[in-house]
Amino acid sequence: MRSEIFILLSFFISLILIGTVFLLIPVSWNGTENLSFIDALFTSASAVCVTGLITVDTALYSRFGQIIILLLIQTGGLGLISFSTLYIVIPSRKISLKGTKIIKEYFIDSVEYEPKKIIRFIVFFTLGIEAIGAIILYFGFSQTIKTDTFFCALFHAVSAFCNAGFSLFSNNLEDFSRNGIVSITIMALIVFGGIGFIVLWDNIKKITGKKKHLSLHTKMVLAMTGILILTGGIFIFFMEFNHSLSNHNIQDKIIISFFQSITPRTAGFNTIRITDMHPLSQLFFIPFMFIGGSPGSISGGIKVTTLFIIILLFLKNNDEQKGIIIFKRRLPAITIYRVTIFFIKAAAFLLFSFILFSVSEFFLNSGSEINFFKLFFESTSAFGTVGLSLGITAGLSVIGKIIIIVTMLLGRVGLLIIMMNIFTSKDEIIFPKEEVLIGS
């Protein structure tokens, strides 16, 4: 397994460095001041990790530079899923039993029998959905944009499906808050990209009659995704009704509310200014950013299935032998244990990153006012590979930017590595049991 982890990290780090080199080429930049190495590195890391946080305006890059960012988003988005899996199923490479088990855990039972079909489906489905999204966005953008409309549509289609949140506009998608075609298309692309390829594969099999029932994984993802979108949309609608949405009609208020309910779970687009939103709405975004999307997708975060199981632990008793019954299926105790450990480790990494980030900005960025809520918002956004910000990214210290880069990489690749370690059983010496007291 160490070789798989090394290759995965090497792939992402190499891609970030290559992207940095290309972005530093003068032809990539149109800004009045020279692009610094740290800002090029930050942009490359954010694109590869499909996060969307930026320290310099993406509109300041030349068309060549924007194409480089687009390629980094696409490669990074597919990299964690397709390329790492493709490496393991290459015919010339003998697959270890341990490697097979890891991939089976990640992609459920389908991969054990149809690995090449899964890879082919991921690549062609991604390109197909992005192409359809780009065509629809072309008509939406053409209402107000008269030049380079197709590239603009293609860029935002890829950025949305890959849950990246990068935009060619300085104010993201705020100018299109009343454009239903753009908003609804972006929302659909985000959901398709974040719901998980295995869920889509499972639904296609069900629709075509190859399966009679959806898997428990699919049911959990669809249920939790629907609940989060609905509750988030309703909360933002009422919280912002007379606040940031006061100048919009009822139809636009509904669309914007659900747009901002979907985008915090790793996408990072915004059709209204986040800094103008009610503080409770900003606070509401933080758990959404930490949760993220679905396993086996382009999205980040701890994933909706993890949240689902954590909620079940609160609501139901966990039998040490039988586990938990849900949707007439049994979640084994070992799965619940793994999810709990995964959740604790993810939360610990986020907390550690936030502490380092706060210390760096407190001591190295004394020229600006330190707001720990904004710092925690930024840390969570980076860890969940979201890209939303309360406006502090560009003013971070160099060390602060490096910490955010590492946090993005940790949120993108580190969570998979944690999962691979947890889900890989090891032969260990069995020691005698002994109880300890817990609680009060």
Phi-psi region of 148 (alpha: psi -120 to 50; beta: other; left: phi over 0): left
Confidence of residue 103 (pLDDT cuts 50, 70, 90): very low
Mean pLDDT across the chain: 85
Looking at the DSSP bridge assignments, the partners of residue 29 are 61
pLDDT tops 50 at residue 99: no
- Spell out a b/e string for 133-156, using b for 16 or more CB atoms within 10 Å of the CB, else e: bbebbbebbeeebeeebebbbbbb
pLDDT digits (tens, 9 = 90+) for 184-233: 999 999 999 988 777 888 888 888 888 888 888 888 899 999 999 999 99
Higher per-residue confidence, 217 vs 134: 134
Q: Tokens 């989060």 appear where?
A: 228
Cα torsion angle, 229, 235, 237, 243, sign: negative
Q: Which residues contact 96 (CB under 8 A, 6 or more apart)?
A: none
Six token digits for residue 167: 């935009």
Half-sphere exposure of 225 (CA within 13 A, CB side): 25
Residue 95: the pLDDT is 45
pLDDT digits (tens, 9 = 90+) for 29-69: 998 899 999 999 999 999 999 999 999 999 999 999 999 99
pLDDT digits (tens, 9 = 90+) for 345-375: 999 999 999 999 999 998 887 656 678 999 9
Residue 79: the pLDDT is 75
Residue 407: the pLDDT is 95
- Convert the chain into a string of H (helix), E (strand) and C (coil): CHHHHHHHHHHHHHHHHHHHHHHHCHHHECCCCCCCHHHHHHHHHHHHCCCCCCCCCHHHECHHHHHHHHHHHHHHHHHHHHHHHHHHCCCCCCCCHHHHHHHHHHHCCHHHHCHHHHHHHHHHHHHHHHHHHHHHHHHHHCCCCCCCHHHHHHHHHHHHHCCCCCCCCCCCCHHHCCCHHHHHHHHHHHHHHHHCHHHHHHHHHHHCCCCCCCCHHHHHHHHHHHHHHHHHHHHHHHHHCCCCCCCCCHHHHHHHHHHHHHCCCCCCCCCCCHHHCCHHHHHHHHHHHHHCCCCCCCCCCCCHHHHHHHHHHHHCCCECCCEEEECCEEECHHHHHHHHHHHHHHHHHHHHHHHHHHHHHHHHCCCCCCCHHHHHHHHHHHHCCCCCCCCCHHHCCHHHHHHHHHHHHHHHHHHHHHHHHHCCCCCCCCCCCCCCCCCC
User: Among residues 300, 321, 323, 316, which one has the least CA distance to residue 419?
Assistant: 300
CB–CB of 405/324 below 8 Å?
no
Q: Is 54 exposed, middle or buried (0-12, 13-18, 19+ CB in 10 A)?
A: buried
Residue 130: the pLDDT is 95
Residue 370: the pLDDT is 75
Cα torsion angle, 67, 73, 76, 77, sign: negative
pLDDT tops 80 at residue 296: no
pLDDT digits (tens, 9 = 90+) for 60-87: 999 999 999 999 999 988 876 665 454 4
Confidence of residue 312 (pLDDT cuts 50, 70, 90): confident
Residue 107: the pLDDT is 46
Q: Which residues contact 154 (CB under 8 A, 6 or more apart)?
A: 70, 130, 134
pLDDT digits (tens, 9 = 90+) for 387-416: 999 989 998 999 999 999 999 999 988 887
Cα–Cα distance list, 10 to 2, 96, 175 (Å): 12, 20, 39
Residue 343: the pLDDT is 92
